[in-house]
Structure 1
Amino acid sequence: MTTGPLAGIRVLDLSSVVVGPVATAVLAEQGAEVIKLESPEGDLLRKLGGGARRPGMSGKFLNFNRGKRSICLDVKRPAARAALHRIAAGVDVVVTNIRPEAQKRMGVDAAALTALSPRLIHCSITGFGTNGPYAGKPAYDTVIQGVSGVAASFLPSNQGEPRYVPMLISDHVCGLVAAQMIGFALYRREKTGRGEAIEVPMFENMAAFVMMEHLGPVTFRPAVGPVGDQRVMSPEARPIATADGYVCLSANTDAQAHGFFDAIGRPELKTDPRFATVMARTRNTKDYFALRAAALAEKTTAEWLVIFEALDVPAMPYNTIEGLLDDPHLRAVGMISEAEHPSEGAIWAIGAPNSFSGGNAPPAGPSPLLGQDGVAVLREAGLDDDAIDALRRDGALIETAQEETP
């Protein structure tokens, strides 16, 4: 039995790929029951993200859809749409990243579904919202990174060339925002009894994210300096090479910077007008970072980490992605562990990073095969066996994965 703070909350997940599944994964992690509706083709993420042991069960799909149940309906068929509405009438939250016009065609927009259930919280994640000149345009993470200024933030460090963050940062950020907004709406519903129609536009969220970080001196009118946090955007803002590897270091406060100067045997730099204060180091970021790079090349990573820890200078070793699997801290706190998936066999399981006073949330459970829970979900929505058989005969209910072999 789930015991998280969202235990008893039922969520209908009409989303796919990453942004919506991030939101519903967070809800499942905290105890919500998440019913994932998929088309006959299945969530595109089942096929994306590299190899798999079986068709339709990619590693990325496993990680983004832990603890969810899957029902597969062909919503182009009227009988399937009617069944979908029966399910929606019995849940607390609906999450979708279907474009608004398609939501209306399917009858799953906020107006249609809240008419069935006034207490429903309907969360629509869109690329560009429903107002303004970009409304309704299709969007993926890289599209949003480009238009929101994320890609442009690489210009100073990449010889004037824009670059995407090599992970789906817009999807992750906006998925977390959506989960947060749903939590706010559930709280208000407890006080008012009313549902909510939530809109989470990715462009607006990521543009706000970039502007909060990088407008800086341009916040003032007229501007008092160039756009962008020069420390963050510097070409030297990267892991620093040591004699045998890399160290990730950030010494921002005066105490940290002065400790760093002691660590590298240059205590006189504490009074150097270029480096003595936060403002001085900000004005002389290039020189400050060059100094760091030159100093750290003289010792090994292990040697530097001992010195920095003694002087309370924030520093950690550089990790590869594969290295995370063996990170002693992640192992100790249960963030990575070996597990057995019921259909995929031995896998690495990612734990819940956040906790309440009772501790971390328990594991959310395995990710589902396409359509594996359809009959159970329909019965819970009040359909009897005859009605379910009719959906099968009509081709509206799909119970087995029809997927291409990679």
Structure 2
Amino acid sequence: MTGPLAGIRVVDLTAVVMGPYCTQIMADMGADVVKVEPPDGDNARYISVGPAPGMSGVFVNVNRGKRSVVLDLVTDEGRAALRGLVAEADVFIHSMRARAIAKLGFGYDDVAAINPNVVYTNCYGYSRRGPEADRPAYDDVIQAQSGVAAVQQMLTGETTYMGTIVADKVAGLTALYATMMALFHRERTGEGQEVEVSMYETMASFMLVEHANGAMFTPPLGPAVYPRTVARNRKPYPTKDGHVAVLIYNDKHWKAFVDRVRPPWIAQYGEAFATLEQRAKQIDVMYALIAETLLQRTTAEWLELFRELEIPAAPIQTPDELFDDPHLEAVGLFETVDSPYGPIRFPGVPTWFSRTPGHVAGPAPELGADTAEVLAEVEALSERQRGTVVGNVRDAPPEGRPAAGP
């Protein structure tokens, strides 16, 4: 492995999307991610189409490059095996509810007693510190509770969810950066610690980045909403033959547009729309007027003009079209990986590193495919760390690990 996390071992007890998305990125960045699954496997194995039973497309994407170990944690043997994995882990991450993980004997204090340097990340629906602690949660529920569905209603007139599992993915990214910060602290001090990331608090914070707006001040200067993003006319504009997405936003873009196009309404609204501050106060009117103008030309004609004027604009693409997007192809976003089911074209690592690049670490594992291998590695490493006395000479510890005590 060549990524910046090469040499880091992650014991991953997460399921579905939030936690697995976090650890998928760790695997792409070089970490050895050991996915611990119950005998029936992660539910995400069964939620979408796939090349074989238990290998749904969603599961395969967010669990690529990991190793699957099946442990029945209600048994003494399963818990003993997990304790062995914990002893060698840099990161322990789970998405069980607090009561459930504690009942199994793998709360933070239990894990830290085995491995005090571990970074222990909890992925919850709701923080343990509030009245909603231990409530179950999924993306749809969190979208509703965090304001996403209400903002969609302001925008479209209908209370809806977004067409993506935004809460799962944003919380997964948050779990990633929180875990990386804890690893950075450990790198500087040697101290492990416990980290908690919850979907609800994450999405509330995410939504309020712009929507807190006037409600942040004392006294409030307005409601908790950012008007531009909920303007009813904020949507891709119809053209003569399709649609185009464009944001004629700052003063430079606005002047370039009106000077070149000279729309008929500029005589009436020119002074009223002269500055960004003025346009922001009547943003929906501005959107409606632009929409009238863009009906006069084709999508290709508008895109050519906007690119000439350096105004941000793009065509409307479907997810299928992303696989053939020339820019994404040119930057190498997609990586094809061989698997037992044939080649898989993954949307790969979206970041770039000059010295430690990541890459798709491999296909997703079949359920329990690596159980014997991983447990044998743990046993062998444990034996080496304990040391084998042969003629008063103790074997050297594994490279990168401290020698065992006497």
Partner of 2:44: 45
User: Aligned with 2:328: secondary structure?
Assistant: helix
Instruction: Tell me if the contact between 1:124 and 1:198 (Cα under 8 Å) persists in the aligned partners.
Output: yes
Partner of 1:33: 32
1:20-99 equivalence runs, <5 A: 20-49=19-48, 51-99=49-97
User: Aligned with 2:41: secondary structure?
Assistant: coil
Q: Distance in 1 between matches of 2:256 and 2:342?
A: 49
1:233-262 Cα distance to aligned partner (Å, 9 max, x none)? 112211111112211111221111222223
- Cα 1:290/1:102, change in 2 over 3 Å: same
Partner of 1:215: 212
1:262 equivalent to 2:255? Answer no
Q: Distance in 2 between matches of 1:263 and 1:341?
A: 51
Q: Distance in 2 between matches of 1:235 and 1:360?
A: 42
Q: Distance in 1 between matches of 2:377 and 2:261?
A: 66
Partner of 2:10: 11
Deviation, structure 1 residue 273: 2.9
User: Aligned with 1:157: secondary structure?
Assistant: helix
Deviation, structure 1 residue 106: 1.4
1:140 equivalent to 2:138? Answer yes
Gaps in structure 1 of 5+ consecutive residues? 385-406
Partner of 2:378: 381
Partner of 1:167: 164
Instruction: Tell me if the contact between 2:3 and 2:357 (Cα under 8 Å) persists in the aligned partners.
Output: no
Larger deviation, residues 273-282 vs 176-185? 273-282
Partner of 2:340: 343
What amino acid is aligned across from residue 56 of structure 1 in structure 2? G
Q: Distance in 2 between matches of 1:78 and 1:99?
A: 21
User: Aligned with 2:161: secondary structure?
Assistant: coil
Partner of 1:308: 306
- Cα 1:213/1:345, change in 2 over 3 Å: same
What's the TM-score once normalised by structure 1's chain length?
A: 0.90
What amino acid is aligned across from residue 73 of structure 2 in structure 1? V
Partner of 2:354: 357
| RMSD over aligned Cα atoms | 1.7
- Aligned residue pairs total 380
Deviation, structure 1 residue 263: 4.2
1:13-47 Cα distance to aligned partner (Å, 9 max, x none)? 10000000011011111111100001111111110
Partner of 1:387: none
Instruction: Tell me if the contact between 1:353 and 1:360 (Cα under 8 Å) persists in the aligned partners.
Output: no
1:175-194 equivalence runs, <5 A: 175-194=172-191
Deviation, structure 1 residue 357: 2.1
1:203 equivalent to 2:161? Answer no
Instruction: Tell me if the contact between 1:261 and 1:267 (Cα under 8 Å) persists in the aligned partners.
Output: no
Work out the percentage of aligned pairs sharing the same amino acid: 40
1:280-291 equivalence runs, <5 A: 280-291=278-289
1:168-197 Cα distance to aligned partner (Å, 9 max, x none)? 101100110111011111111011111010
User: Aligned with 1:135: secondary structure?
Assistant: coil
Q: Distance in 1 between matches of 2:11 and 2:134?
A: 23
User: Aligned with 2:33: secondary structure?
Assistant: strand
Deviation, structure 1 residue 219: 1.9
Q: Distance in 2 between matches of 1:348 and 1:205?
A: 31
Q: Distance in 2 between matches of 1:94 and 1:194?
A: 14
1:298 is matched with which residue: 285, 296, 312? Answer: 296
What amino acid is aligned across from residue 166 of structure 2 in structure 1? I
Q: Distance in 2 between matches of 1:308 and 1:207?
A: 35
Which structure carries more relative contact order (alpha carbon 8 Å, separation 6+)? 1
Q: Distance in 1 between matches of 2:260 and 2:40?
A: 58
User: Aligned with 1:248: secondary structure?
Assistant: strand
Q: Distance in 1 between matches of 2:315 and 2:355?
A: 31
What amino acid is aligned across from residue 263 of structure 2 in structure 1? R
1:366 equivalent to 2:377? Answer no
Deviation, structure 1 residue 267: 9.3
Deviation, structure 1 residue 223: 2.6
Deviation, structure 1 residue 202: 1.4
- Cα 1:378/1:94, change in 2 over 3 Å: same
What's the TM-score once normalised by structure 2's chain length?
A: 0.90
Gaps in structure 2 of 5+ consecutive residues? 382-406
Larger deviation, residues 27-36 vs 351-360? 351-360
Q: Distance in 1 between matches of 2:356 and 2:88?
A: 30
User: Aligned with 1:381: secondary structure?
Assistant: helix
What amino acid is aligned across from residue 199 of structure 1 in structure 2? E
1:321 is matched with which residue: 308, 315, 319? Answer: 319
Deviation, structure 1 residue 217: 1.8
